Structure formats: structure tokens, C-alpha cells
Amino acid sequence: MAERVQYQGKGLGLVDPKGRVAIPNALRAILAANSPRDDGKDGGTVIVAPHPEYRCLIAYDPAFVALWQAKLESLDAAQFAASGRTDWNILDRAGGAEPLPFDGSGRFILPAFERRYARIDESAYFHGSFNWMTIWSPKVMMETDGVDAFLKESCAFACEEKGIVL
């Protein structure tokens, strides 16, 4: 595979009662480039995990797993060096990630627990963050301290365009 393409872009996806949601076009194209199928068909694999800090999700391609693991192991080693204790949560959160198939239209099923954890109901806001994309409940994003004003306003704008009241 060629060098990974960084996730840039944003958009709102509507979530049906079964958890089906489509990744916005710009982000879907990057995900597809980063995780091509062996058979050459459209679609691929998206990996969904909890965000390391916020009550939202992150999504990334399989090629990022080794990079993310190395980063987390480095953080764990630094934690151990500083305190003499291992913070098992550092690796446990990422280790619970779900690899999920997505089709050529970017549709995938967001598992029920991940939706519940992130408080995602009828819509999900996707935002590129270079190594991954975040997936937010728009309502939770608006209520979360420390989230950049640009992200919040971008999400609110996307919701307004779709007629979603926050």
C-alpha cells in the first residue's frame, strides 16, 4: 500500500435504527485509499474505538493499528517510568476497537454499544483529525468542554443544513 492519506474533511451522517450510517464523501475516499480491499472491489474495513479522552468515537483504517499501538505502548512506558505503575486503560481502550466492513457508499453498521457509549442516536458528526476521524453525537459535542469552537460551529452548521435541532 502507498503511504497513508491523512483524514481531512467533515460531515454529518444520518443513523438509522439499526445503526447504519454513511461516512461523508471526503472522509470515505480517504478511508478507501487507506484500506483497499484485496479483491479490488469498493469498500473495505473501518476500525471504530473510543476516543482516548472525549465521549466520542474514533475511526481509522487497519494500517493505522500498528502506529497507534506503538504510540500507546510508548505512553504506557512513560506512565510506568513516571509512576512505577502501569495504566492498563491506555491499551485496554484501544484494544476494544471494532473492525467493521463498509461498502462502496461508505455505509457501515455502528455497533449498538459504541452508539450507546458515544450517545449517538439519529445523527453522527464525522471530523477528520489526520490520523483518524472522530465520530460525535452532535448534542454531546456541543455539551463537551474543551472542544474547539470551529468543530462545534461546523457541527451545528451541518445539523442546521439537515434540519436537525440541537
Residue 72 in domain: no
What does each C-alpha distance from 36 to 73, 77, 138 come to in angstroms?
A: 27, 33, 30
CA distances from 131 to 60, 101, 139, 149, 157 (A): 7, 19, 24, 21, 24
Specify if 5 maps to a domain: no
Residue 86 pLDDT? 82
**Residue 105 resides in a domain:** yes
pLDDT in tens, 75-102: 888 888 898 888 888 778 888 899 999 9
**CATH number of the domain within which 27 lies:** 3.40.1550.20
Nearest CA-CA partner of 82 in 53, 90, 96:
90
pTM of the entire structure?
0.90
State the Cα–Cα distance between residues 149 and 115, nearest whole angstrom.
24
Across the range 126-141, mean pLDDT stands at 96
Residue 38 reports pLDDT greater than 80? no
Q: Is pLDDT of 152 > 60?
A: yes
Q: Looking at the domain assignment, is residue 102 inside a domain? A: yes
Q: Is 32 part of a structural domain of the chain?
A: yes
Instruction: Provide the residue range defining the domain that includes 103.
Output: 10-37+46-62+98-161
